[in-house]
Amino acid sequence: MYIAVDFDGTCVTHDYPEVGKDIGAVPVLKELVKQKHKLILWTMRSGKELDDAVEWFKTNNIPLYGIQTNPTQKNWTQSPKAYANLYIDDAAFGAPLVYDEKLSTREFLDWTVVSEYFGI
């Protein structure tokens, strides 16, 4: 499955333009890759801030299949929208959110619930 993953508020807390704090995404994302899912970084970040997000994935040894796009879609569309089977984003309708004032002043994705969804 192609999975598009947002960054701020999804992989880390909201601390843009800095990279936010750990919220439990790393083990779940690693397991998804281990299960042969292809991760596409799908974020509003650009320039240096996008580079910082890509570096976060590299530092955490989480391979990305694509950055802002699905590499295979160029074969059948010119659309800039990244094609995925699933989008994991804290701003998505129904996304499981959690609030922890020790980590952030904003809600962020609850990776415990996400991992349960995938049976991890």
pLDDT digits (tens, 9 = 90+) for 86-95: 999 999 999 9
pLDDT digits (tens, 9 = 90+) for 33-62: 999 999 999 999 999 999 999 999 999 999
pLDDT digits (tens, 9 = 90+) for 4-35: 999 999 999 999 999 999 999 999 999 999 99
Domains plus CATH for the chain? 2-117 (3.40.50.1000)
Question: DSSP H helical segments within the chain, as ranges?
Answer: 25-34, 47-59, 111-117
Quote the pTM value.
0.95
Cα(21)–Cα(11) distance, integer angstroms: 9
Beta carbons within 8 Å of 97's beta carbon, 6+ residues apart: 90, 107, 108, 109, 110
Return the pLDDT at 108.
Answer: 98
Return the pLDDT at 95.
Answer: 97
* Section 60-78 average pLDDT: 95
Confidence check: pLDDT of 68 > 90: yes
| Percent of the chain clearing pLDDT 90 (strictly above) | 96
Confidence check: pLDDT of 80 > 90: no
Q: Please name the residue that has the structure tokens 């960054």.
A: 7
Across the chain, mean pLDDT equals: 97
